[in-house]
Structure 1
Amino acid sequence: MSAVLRLLKIAPAPSSEAIIDLSGLPVDTSTDLWNLNYAGDKISLNFAHLPFRAEDLLSATKSYMRALIKSKAPKSVYNTFAALRLLSQSELFVEAERNGTEIPESFIAELQAKLGSKAYQLHHIRHWYRSGADRGYASFSPEVAFQLDQKVIGGNAKGHAVLSLDPEDGPLVDLEITALLNALNAQRRKNSLPLDCSAALWLCVALGCNPFQMTLLRERDIEIISEGNNRFINLRVPRVKKRHDAPRTAFKTRKLTSEIGDVVLNLIAENRQREALQGRTTGPDTPIFLRRTMRSHLEETMADYAWHMYPSEFTALVGDGVSRLGVISARTGEPLKVTTRRLRYTFATRLVREGASMEEVAEALDHTDLQNVRVYFDIKSDIVKSLDRAMALKLGPVAQAFLGNVVPNEADAERGGDPASRVMAVDRATGRPAGLGTCGEHSYCNLLAPIACYTCGQFQPWMDGPHDKILDDLIAQRERKQAAGMDGRMVTIHDATILAIGDVIRRIEEARAI
């Protein structure tokens, strides 16, 4: 094709005026650096980073990206832009761009071979090529565009971490989530964890939300409902991943337990106090997860989110909280690594274990497509099929189910002089009551003793208590349920207690060996 014909084929350059994005906000596209309107992070398209400088390719690409900005969410637009940078890995594309010739069909096959498992990103490049051909740009052939549409490009492999119960990236198994929840409950009594870390962890465990949703939360999203002597706390969680006009335009109301709700309310109170000391006022639009410093890079159109955390900062908050708790993974023997994604996986897998339907799981995760939740129904069970005395003694210390303190006898326990603090059990062989330990809680406790005591941080087992008999009895109950073919949830209902008692017995054995 002659240079004259090629020049005639180039479409007119689009207007350089600001365009309106999907959220109804302006985006300046008059330079090579476009800043998109996104509340979660700074997203920019820097055309100087693309692996081509040919005028018609840049013009075609900018035209396509303008169309995407009008119809797609900012992260989706950026994913396309990032995929275009992969073109530098195609020698066939680089040669065509250098020579000013049409981009050949074979460049996609070349990239497929080089990208391997990441070849799904070529979907973005295929759509970009088709757009260039449709608009009549010289480097794009309609015939090649047709051929590319016929090619099979695999999708992103989903669900591997979930299906394989990956110990680093997959959902937490029962022993790990038990250890995490026990550590969270223990710190709540001691106030040993920063409130923002505590609130972030509790909300992720209870709701399974993604970090962007959490960073969008504001004070006005929490609602306290009183009905007689009952008190309920609701949280309006902003919806994301939906084609809504802007952040915080649609919500789903989630119920919180009073304990988790109080953690969030305490965080709001702490934010207000800290801001007042710094001379700033707070109100209903103040973020619940409040940054210490203002996000200065935001465009004027996104100024309302200047004090909201980035999703990456929220994820770091969750990771920092788990590190402070010192939880050890029962599978790896190393400090437990937790991300918001892992807690979301865990939330979903536990829903399935509790008998939730596919529709119920999709609703809880705020998915509109059931195919995104099918993976949770294919996961292999993490239920410990056999849990005997030997395993309880081995896994007990690792599972961190026991949070109290072993004491030599009643006299050495806090509240040891108070007969009402004794935790008793009936010896099945003799029918006589036997002392197990002392409760250090000064307020009323409605937990079922002695089973619930072993996983309570206020319990002080005595070294001479008959803990082995309680352990043997629970293991025998577990074996009877399993032999009767009962549901796995019923079989494992006291596993945390079994592991806690195993930890108590092991500590007593070690103390006596000194």
Structure 2
Amino acid sequence: MNIAVSALEAPNKGSLEEWLNTPRLAKCGEFFTPSEPMWRPSKSARSSVNWQAAIACVPSHWQRWLHALLAYRMMEVAQGTVELATSILSRAAQIGLDPLNEYHLIDLRERFNTSEFSALASLMKYWQECESLEQRPSQVLIDAYETLPRKKRLQNDVILRLDPEQGPLTQVEQDALFQWAHEQFCHGILDPESYLYLRLSMIYGQRGMQLRMIVFGDFIKTEHGYQIRIFWAKQKGDDAGWRRKSETFNLDEDLYNTVLAYRSIVRARLEQEYPGRADWNKAIEHVPLFRRKLDQRGGRRKMNPVMADLPDQNALEQTPQEKFHASSKAIRHWLFQMEIIPGFPTSPRTHQPLKISRGHRFRHTLGTDLSNAGLDEWSIASALMHANTHTVRKYRAVSAELMRLIDEKMSDHLALVVRAFTGTIVTDRALAKNGDRVDRQIEDLAVCGADNVCHLDAPFTCYGCSKFQPFLDADHSAALERLERRRAQTIDTDKTTGVLWDRAILACRKVILECNTLRESSQLGGSDA
């Protein structure tokens, strides 16, 4: 693409029109032309940037400079950030508020929520500091933005008031959700992507943006165990950018093996659906775990392609490509769909299905759990990938006593919600479904009644499964000891994932109690005869 050198220079009043008509390189690596009605350089984005509606919020002699500002912004930040800015400006225009008018700031603050008003203030500050633009807001206006108190009230914080629909999940709710996801996945009702997204959200509590950046190559096997690489979001300076800075966290072996098996399935489908488009054995390292799919709302196919048919698939041989990753809208749709699946866990606090599609709920949960476990602010900030401790202090304000009070109020519902063991105890192998099949025997403890093999960590993950058929006379106490040792080993390396063993331990204890009850009743019946 030939671009005149003069058009690349900072625009002035005389050259601004030429500058806006010159293609620019967006942050995502694709070109866009500022004068075009809509911008969509990122092919992975589901919507375009409508700058025309946005610039209407300022007086006419400012509009072309705001237009240029948004173009500069597109060159430096992600398209989603510019979309948010134009959405805020467009809504301000609709109600006649001018972000350049100091007397409108209070009305703007009241019209938008805290994060939106902060985004607007950041955009104005960026404009004032953008020396490439001749016409810029005054420092007085920027000072007014920065000194205006934000309207957020702590009593409305979903974490501090333990909001039952948006705040942290209680341990009972987490247990029920984990058990449901495990069973739905094992029985083929929950697809691998939805299952993995839910598992990773519950374990690591990271933002959706961070989980969407994950590729198969981010799951690592080392001589010290298994790890996952997670990239930062909202960073500033040299570390800013898509998949620019990362941290590694410990990973459960069972989850690693699940991802590895899914990776093989995805690679096979890519080779089948897009033969010759890339060396998929090499490219699979950079294929997203959560991929952009073909949008087929108008009609359905029996099976959608495993990844959207976008150009430059061979570029995945070298590095991850943002355009192939799932959008936030698609992920939210997955979570909404989970909530309406029959049998989805119910909250004892609301007597309604759990809400998992609202905001940073898993993030709030992890932060609260880590605080209640006694971790210091820096440790919580590190686990949540915060650059400082300011945001995590709210988790310290939620006391363990308050969480225990909530659990006590739910005690009447505990048996209904937890129901850790949902299988069937059998007295003889011949009475069990699949009892005659060698591949369905679970050591000398039980028989699996599922139609398909789940390849998960038997017998540890089996006790909580509804298809589990434990033998009445098996040594389940020994299995319980193994489960507790496994949990202790996991906690030694990663306290975050160690709690996931609690559900299986509770189910195993329930099996032991029920077996004892059945044996005692059998003995009493024999003595009466």
Q: TM-score, normalised by structure 1?
A: 0.67
**Which residue number in structure 2 is paired with residue 333 of structure 1?**
351
Unaligned runs of 5+ in 1: 1-9, 95-102, 419-437, 463-488, 509-514
Which whole-Å CA distance do the structure 2 matches of 1:194 and 1:173 have between them? 26
1:311 matched to 2:328: yes
Per mean C-alpha deviation after superposition, the further-off stretch among 30-39 and 265-274 is 30-39
Which whole-Å CA distance do the structure 2 matches of 1:444 and 1:305 have between them? 33
Which residue identity lines up with residue 237 of structure 1 in the other structure?
A: I
1:202 matched to 2:219: no
Q: What whole-Å deviation, never above 9, does each CA across 1:270-290 have from its counterpart, x for those lacking one?
A: 212322332445322222223
> What does 1:162-311 correspond to in 2, within 5 Å?
162-187=159-184, 189-225=186-222, 232-243=225-236, 244=239, 246-280=241-275, 282=280, 283=283, 284-293=285-294, 304-311=321-328
Which whole-Å CA distance do the structure 2 matches of 1:415 and 1:297 have between them? 46
Which whole-Å CA distance do the structure 1 matches of 2:121 and 2:190 have between them? 45
Instruction: Decide whether aligned partners of structure 1 residues 131 and 444 sit closer, same or farther in structure 2, where only a CA change above 3 A counts.
Output: closer
Per mean C-alpha deviation after superposition, the further-off stretch among 294-303 and 354-363 is 294-303
Partner SS for 1:65: helix
Are the equivalent residues in 2 in contact too, given 1:21–1:70 (CA < 8 A)? yes
Which whole-Å CA distance do the structure 2 matches of 1:374 and 1:172 have between them? 18
1:83 matched to 2:101: no
Are the equivalent residues in 1 in contact too, given 2:55–2:67 (CA < 8 A)? no
Instruction: Decide whether aligned partners of structure 1 residues 193 and 360 sit closer, same or farther in structure 2, where only a CA change above 3 A counts.
Output: same
Are the equivalent residues in 2 in contact too, given 1:198–1:321 (CA < 8 A)? no
Instruction: Decide whether aligned partners of structure 1 residues 61 and 444 sit closer, same or farther in structure 2, where only a CA change above 3 A counts.
Output: closer
Instruction: Decide whether aligned partners of structure 1 residues 392 and 499 sit closer, same or farther in structure 2, where only a CA change above 3 A counts.
Output: farther
Instruction: Decide whether aligned partners of structure 1 residues 153 and 129 sit closer, same or farther in structure 2, where only a CA change above 3 A counts.
Output: farther
Q: What whole-Å deviation, never above 9, does each CA across 1:92-123 have from its counterpart, x for those lacking one?
A: 759xxxxxxxx754233444455586755652
Instruction: Decide whether aligned partners of structure 1 residues 63 and 350 sit closer, same or farther in structure 2, where only a CA change above 3 A counts.
Output: same
Which residue identity lines up with residue 267 of structure 1 in the other structure?
A: Y
Unaligned runs of 5+ in 2: 1-11, 295-306, 437-444, 450-455, 473-497, 518-529
* 1:57 aligned residue (57, 62, 74): 62
- When Rg is computed on C-alpha atoms for both structures, the one with the higher figure is 1
**Which residue number in structure 2 is paired with residue 469 of structure 1?**
none
Q: What whole-Å deviation, never above 9, does each CA across 1:453-496 have from its counterpart, x for those lacking one?
A: 9756536598xxxxxxxxxxxxxxxxxxxxxxxxxx99xx8999
1:405 matched to 2:432: no
Which whole-Å CA distance do the structure 2 matches of 1:141 and 1:46 have between them? 19
* 1:152 aligned residue (134, 148, 156): 148
* 2:121 aligned residue (113, 120, 123): 123
Are the equivalent residues in 2 in contact too, given 1:440–1:459 (CA < 8 A)? yes
Which residue identity lines up with residue 144 of structure 2 in the other structure?
A: L
| Shift of residue 53, structure 1, vs aligned partner | 8.2
Which whole-Å CA distance do the structure 2 matches of 1:151 and 1:298 have between them? 47
**Which residue number in structure 1 is paired with residue 38 of structure 2?**
33
**Which residue number in structure 1 is paired with residue 489 of structure 2?**
none
Which whole-Å CA distance do the structure 2 matches of 1:121 and 1:249 have between them? 22
Are the equivalent residues in 2 in contact too, given 1:133–1:142 (CA < 8 A)? no
Instruction: Decide whether aligned partners of structure 1 residues 238 and 38 sit closer, same or farther in structure 2, where only a CA change above 3 A counts.
Output: farther
**For this pair of structures, how many residues does the alignment match?**
431
Partner SS for 1:352: helix
| Shift of residue 329, structure 1, vs aligned partner | 1.7
Instruction: Decide whether aligned partners of structure 1 residues 66 and 306 sit closer, same or farther in structure 2, where only a CA change above 3 A counts.
Output: closer
Per mean C-alpha deviation after superposition, the further-off stretch among 438-447 and 342-351 is 438-447
Which whole-Å CA distance do the structure 1 matches of 2:193 and 2:290 have between them? 7
Compute the RMSD of aligned alpha carbons.
4.9
**Which residue number in structure 2 is paired with residue 480 of structure 1?**
none
**Which residue number in structure 2 is paired with residue 355 of structure 1?**
374
**Which residue number in structure 1 is paired with residue 432 of structure 2?**
414
* 1:395 aligned residue (414, 419, 422): 414
Are the equivalent residues in 2 in contact too, given 1:295–1:306 (CA < 8 A)? no
Are the equivalent residues in 1 in contact too, given 2:40–2:49 (CA < 8 A)? yes
Which residue identity lines up with residue 34 of structure 1 in the other structure?
A: W
Partner SS for 2:228: strand
Are the equivalent residues in 2 in contact too, given 1:36–1:44 (CA < 8 A)? no
| Shift of residue 125, structure 1, vs aligned partner | 7.1
Partner SS for 1:371: coil
Q: What whole-Å deviation, never above 9, does each CA across 1:151-203 have from its counterpart, x for those lacking one?
A: 51416567812222212111211110011122234345544432222211111
Which residue identity lines up with residue 337 of structure 2 in the other structure?
A: D
Question: What is the percentage of aligned positions where both structures have the same residue?
Answer: 18
Q: What whole-Å deviation, never above 9, does each CA across 1:308-337 have from its counterpart, x for those lacking one?
A: 211221233344345446222222222222
Instruction: Decide whether aligned partners of structure 1 residues 320 and 387 sit closer, same or farther in structure 2, where only a CA change above 3 A counts.
Output: closer
Which whole-Å CA distance do the structure 2 matches of 1:40 and 1:165 have between them? 34
Partner SS for 2:249: strand
1:343 matched to 2:362: yes
Which whole-Å CA distance do the structure 1 matches of 2:170 and 2:62 have between them? 50
Partner SS for 2:286: coil
Which whole-Å CA distance do the structure 1 matches of 2:360 and 2:183 have between them? 24
**Which residue number in structure 2 is paired with residue 468 of structure 1?**
none
| Shift of residue 251, structure 1, vs aligned partner | 2.1
Instruction: Decide whether aligned partners of structure 1 residues 93 and 310 sit closer, same or farther in structure 2, where only a CA change above 3 A counts.
Output: closer
Partner SS for 1:33: coil
Which whole-Å CA distance do the structure 2 matches of 1:343 and 1:234 have between them? 20
> What does 1:374-389 correspond to in 2, within 5 Å?
374-381=393-400, 383-385=403-405
Which whole-Å CA distance do the structure 1 matches of 2:141 and 2:407 have between them? 60
Are the equivalent residues in 1 in contact too, given 2:49–2:86 (CA < 8 A)? no
Which residue identity lines up with residue 84 of structure 1 in the other structure?
A: L
| Shift of residue 63, structure 1, vs aligned partner | 3.2
Are the equivalent residues in 1 in contact too, given 2:168–2:362 (CA < 8 A)? yes
Which whole-Å CA distance do the structure 2 matches of 1:318 and 1:45 have between them? 28
Q: What whole-Å deviation, never above 9, does each CA across 1:280-301 have from its counterpart, x for those lacking one?
A: 4532222222334365799999
Q: TM-score, normalised by structure 2?
A: 0.65
Which whole-Å CA distance do the structure 1 matches of 2:251 and 2:377 have between them? 22
| Shift of residue 394, structure 1, vs aligned partner | 3.9
Partner SS for 1:398: helix
Partner SS for 1:253: strand
> What does 1:136-147 correspond to in 2, within 5 Å?
137=135, 142=138, 145=141
